[in-house]
Protein backbone atom coordinates (compact mmCIF):
# COMPACT_ATOMS: atom_id res chain seq x y z
CA UNK A 1 0.00 0.00 0.00
CA UNK A 2 2.87 2.33 0.84
CA UNK A 3 4.45 1.76 -2.59
CA UNK A 4 1.09 2.28 -4.27
CA UNK A 5 0.65 5.56 -2.39
CA UNK A 6 4.11 6.78 -3.37
CA UNK A 7 3.44 5.86 -7.00
CA UNK A 8 0.16 7.76 -6.94
CA UNK A 9 1.79 10.87 -5.46
CA UNK A 10 4.60 10.65 -8.03
CA UNK A 11 2.05 10.44 -10.82
CA UNK A 12 0.25 13.54 -9.55
CA UNK A 13 3.50 15.50 -9.20
CA UNK A 14 4.57 14.42 -12.66
CA UNK A 15 1.24 15.46 -14.14
CA UNK A 16 1.40 18.85 -12.45
CA UNK A 17 4.96 19.41 -13.62
CA UNK A 18 4.20 18.53 -17.22
CA UNK A 19 1.07 20.69 -17.37
CA UNK A 20 2.94 23.74 -16.10
CA UNK A 21 6.08 23.17 -18.15
CA UNK A 22 7.32 26.03 -20.32
CA UNK A 23 6.53 25.94 -24.02
CA UNK A 24 9.93 26.33 -25.68
CA UNK A 25 8.82 25.56 -29.25
CA UNK A 26 9.61 28.26 -31.83
CA UNK A 27 6.62 30.34 -32.87
CA UNK A 28 5.41 29.89 -36.45
CA UNK A 29 6.26 32.64 -38.94
CA UNK A 30 3.43 32.03 -41.44
CA UNK A 31 0.22 34.06 -41.44
CA UNK A 32 -1.97 32.97 -38.51
CA UNK A 33 -5.36 31.46 -39.24
CA UNK A 34 -6.96 32.83 -36.08
CA UNK A 35 -8.17 33.47 -33.51
CA UNK A 36 -6.92 37.06 -33.57
CA UNK A 37 -6.31 39.97 -31.27
CA UNK A 38 -7.20 43.32 -32.86
CA UNK A 39 -8.05 41.56 -36.10
CA UNK A 40 -4.48 40.82 -37.22
CA UNK A 41 -2.35 39.51 -34.34
CA UNK A 42 -2.31 35.73 -33.85
CA UNK A 43 -3.69 35.08 -30.34
CA UNK A 44 -2.15 31.61 -30.01
CA UNK A 45 1.37 33.01 -30.52
CA UNK A 46 0.74 35.88 -28.12
CA UNK A 47 -0.50 33.42 -25.48
CA UNK A 48 2.80 31.56 -25.71
CA UNK A 49 5.09 34.60 -25.94
CA UNK A 50 3.86 36.70 -23.02
CA UNK A 51 3.66 36.06 -19.28
CA UNK A 52 0.11 37.13 -18.53
CA UNK A 53 -3.05 35.02 -18.31
CA UNK A 54 -5.88 35.63 -20.79
CA UNK A 55 -4.36 38.54 -22.70
CA UNK A 56 -6.76 40.80 -24.58
CA UNK A 57 -6.04 43.30 -27.35
CA UNK A 58 -7.07 46.90 -27.85
CA UNK A 59 -6.75 48.38 -31.33
CA UNK A 60 -7.36 47.13 -34.83
CA UNK A 61 -6.77 47.64 -38.53
CA UNK A 62 -7.87 50.99 -39.96
CA UNK A 63 -9.04 51.07 -43.56
CA UNK A 64 -9.83 53.97 -45.85
CA UNK A 65 -13.58 54.56 -46.11
CA UNK A 66 -13.34 56.49 -49.36
CA UNK A 67 -11.20 56.43 -52.48
CA UNK A 68 -7.93 56.94 -50.61
CA UNK A 69 -5.38 54.20 -51.22
CA UNK A 70 -2.07 53.38 -49.58
CA UNK A 71 1.23 53.18 -51.46
CA UNK A 72 0.57 49.48 -52.15
CA UNK A 73 -2.73 50.32 -53.82
CA UNK A 74 -4.81 48.89 -50.96
CA UNK A 75 -7.13 50.46 -48.40
CA UNK A 76 -5.25 49.67 -45.18
CA UNK A 77 -3.99 52.83 -43.48
CA UNK A 78 -2.55 51.39 -40.26
CA UNK A 79 -2.77 48.54 -37.78
CA UNK A 80 -2.07 48.60 -34.06
CA UNK A 81 -2.65 46.36 -31.06
CA UNK A 82 -1.85 46.83 -27.39
CA UNK A 83 -2.04 43.51 -25.57
CA UNK A 84 -2.90 43.71 -21.88
CA UNK A 85 -3.66 41.19 -19.17
CA UNK A 86 -4.60 41.20 -15.50
CA UNK A 87 -2.47 39.71 -12.76
CA UNK A 88 -2.39 40.10 -9.00
CA UNK A 89 -0.93 43.59 -9.37
CA UNK A 90 -3.58 44.76 -11.84
CA UNK A 91 -3.46 45.44 -15.57
CA UNK A 92 -0.13 44.87 -17.31
CA UNK A 93 0.85 45.76 -20.86
CA UNK A 94 2.57 42.74 -22.34
CA UNK A 95 2.99 43.37 -26.06
CA UNK A 96 2.48 46.16 -28.59
CA UNK A 97 2.38 45.72 -32.36
CA UNK A 98 2.21 48.73 -34.67
CA UNK A 99 2.15 49.12 -38.45
CA UNK A 100 2.06 52.56 -40.03
CA UNK A 101 3.07 54.06 -43.37
CA UNK A 102 6.67 55.10 -43.83
CA UNK A 103 6.95 58.88 -43.66
CA UNK A 104 4.30 59.32 -40.98
CA UNK A 105 7.06 59.43 -38.32
CA UNK A 106 10.38 60.15 -40.10
CA UNK A 107 12.21 60.19 -36.75
CA UNK A 108 11.13 56.62 -36.04
CA UNK A 109 11.94 55.56 -39.62
CA UNK A 110 15.45 56.87 -39.05
CA UNK A 111 15.81 54.79 -35.89
CA UNK A 112 15.00 51.62 -37.83
CA UNK A 113 17.96 52.06 -40.19
CA UNK A 114 20.45 53.10 -37.50
CA UNK A 115 21.27 49.60 -36.28
CA UNK A 116 23.04 49.93 -32.92
CA UNK A 117 26.06 47.81 -32.04
CA UNK A 118 24.02 46.37 -29.19
CA UNK A 119 21.36 44.95 -31.54
CA UNK A 120 20.61 41.29 -30.88
CA UNK A 121 19.52 40.55 -34.44
CA UNK A 122 19.62 42.27 -37.83
CA UNK A 123 16.82 41.43 -40.26
CA UNK A 124 17.94 40.03 -43.64
CA UNK A 125 17.05 42.08 -46.76
CA UNK A 126 14.28 39.58 -47.57
CA UNK A 127 12.44 40.86 -44.48
CA UNK A 128 13.30 44.53 -44.91
CA UNK A 129 15.58 46.93 -43.07
CA UNK A 130 15.75 46.82 -39.29
CA UNK A 131 16.82 44.99 -36.18
CA UNK A 132 15.78 43.60 -32.81
CA UNK A 133 17.14 44.93 -29.55
CA UNK A 134 16.72 43.81 -25.97
CA UNK A 135 14.85 46.15 -23.68
CA UNK A 136 14.52 46.24 -19.90
CA UNK A 137 11.15 47.74 -18.94
CA UNK A 138 11.69 47.01 -15.25
CA UNK A 139 13.93 45.08 -12.90
CA UNK A 140 11.95 41.84 -13.17
CA UNK A 141 11.54 41.25 -16.90
CA UNK A 142 13.63 41.42 -20.04
CA UNK A 143 11.79 42.14 -23.25
CA UNK A 144 12.64 42.91 -26.87
CA UNK A 145 11.56 45.21 -29.67
CA UNK A 146 11.63 44.39 -33.38
CA UNK A 147 11.90 47.55 -35.50
CA UNK A 148 11.53 47.01 -39.25
CA UNK A 149 10.93 48.94 -42.46
CA UNK A 150 9.12 46.61 -44.83
CA UNK A 151 8.02 47.88 -48.23
CA UNK A 152 6.02 51.06 -47.63
CA UNK A 153 5.44 50.24 -43.97
CA UNK A 154 7.12 50.65 -40.60
CA UNK A 155 6.45 47.68 -38.32
CA UNK A 156 7.33 47.34 -34.64
CA UNK A 157 6.66 44.45 -32.27
CA UNK A 158 7.52 45.11 -28.62
CA UNK A 159 7.37 42.36 -26.02
CA UNK A 160 7.42 43.83 -22.52
CA UNK A 161 6.69 40.79 -20.38
CA UNK A 162 8.06 37.63 -22.02
CA UNK A 163 6.91 34.27 -20.72
CA UNK A 164 9.33 32.33 -18.55
CA UNK A 165 11.77 30.33 -20.62
CA UNK A 166 10.94 32.21 -23.84
CA UNK A 167 13.41 34.19 -25.95
CA UNK A 168 11.65 37.53 -26.60
CA UNK A 169 14.06 38.34 -29.44
CA UNK A 170 13.06 35.25 -31.42
CA UNK A 171 9.39 35.66 -30.51
CA UNK A 172 9.34 39.29 -31.69
CA UNK A 173 10.93 38.22 -34.99
CA UNK A 174 8.35 35.45 -35.48
CA UNK A 175 5.37 37.68 -34.64
CA UNK A 176 6.70 40.40 -36.97
CA UNK A 177 6.87 37.86 -39.79
CA UNK A 178 3.34 36.66 -38.98
CA UNK A 179 2.06 40.24 -39.26
CA UNK A 180 3.92 40.75 -42.55
CA UNK A 181 2.38 37.60 -43.99
CA UNK A 182 -1.15 38.22 -42.72
CA UNK A 183 -1.31 41.87 -43.83
CA UNK A 184 0.47 41.08 -47.12
CA UNK A 185 3.14 43.75 -46.67
CA UNK A 186 5.24 43.68 -49.86
CA UNK A 187 9.01 44.16 -49.98
CA UNK A 188 8.98 46.85 -52.69
CA UNK A 189 8.74 50.48 -51.66
CA UNK A 190 8.00 53.67 -53.59
CA UNK A 191 10.13 56.08 -51.58
CA UNK A 192 13.79 55.63 -50.59
CA UNK A 193 14.50 54.64 -47.02
CA UNK A 194 16.46 56.98 -44.75
CA UNK A 195 20.21 56.58 -44.89
CA UNK A 196 22.11 55.62 -41.76
CA UNK A 197 23.48 58.43 -39.65
CA UNK A 198 26.30 58.35 -37.09
Q: What is the pLDDT of residue 179?
A: 98
N residues, the chain = 198
pTM of the entire structure? Answer: 0.86
Closest CA to 177 of 24, 41, 5, 21: 41
Is residue 118 a contact partner of residue 124, using CB atoms and an 8 Å limit? no
pLDDT at 22: 77
In this structure, CATH architecture of domain 34-183 = 3-Layer(aba) Sandwich (3.40)
Q: What Cα–Cα distance (Å) separates residue 77 from each residue in 81, 99, 105?
A: 14, 9, 14
pLDDT in tens, the chain (198 residues): 444 444 443 443 333 333 346 799 999 999 999 999 999 999 999 999 998 888 899 999 999 999 999 999 999 999 999 999 886 777 889 999 999 999 999 999 999 999 999 899 999 999 999 999 997 655 566 899 999 999 999 999 999 999 999 999 999 999 999 999 999 999 999 989 999 987
123, 128, 133, 137: CA torsion to nearest 10: -140
Alpha-carbon distance 179 to 158, whole Å? 13
Domain boundaries, the chain: 34-183
Amino acid sequence: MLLAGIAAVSAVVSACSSSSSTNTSPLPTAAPAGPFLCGFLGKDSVDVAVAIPKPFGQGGVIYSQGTERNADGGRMLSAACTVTGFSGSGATQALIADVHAIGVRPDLDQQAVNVPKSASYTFPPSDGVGYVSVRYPNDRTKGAVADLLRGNWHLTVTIMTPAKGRDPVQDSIAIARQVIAYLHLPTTHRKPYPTTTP
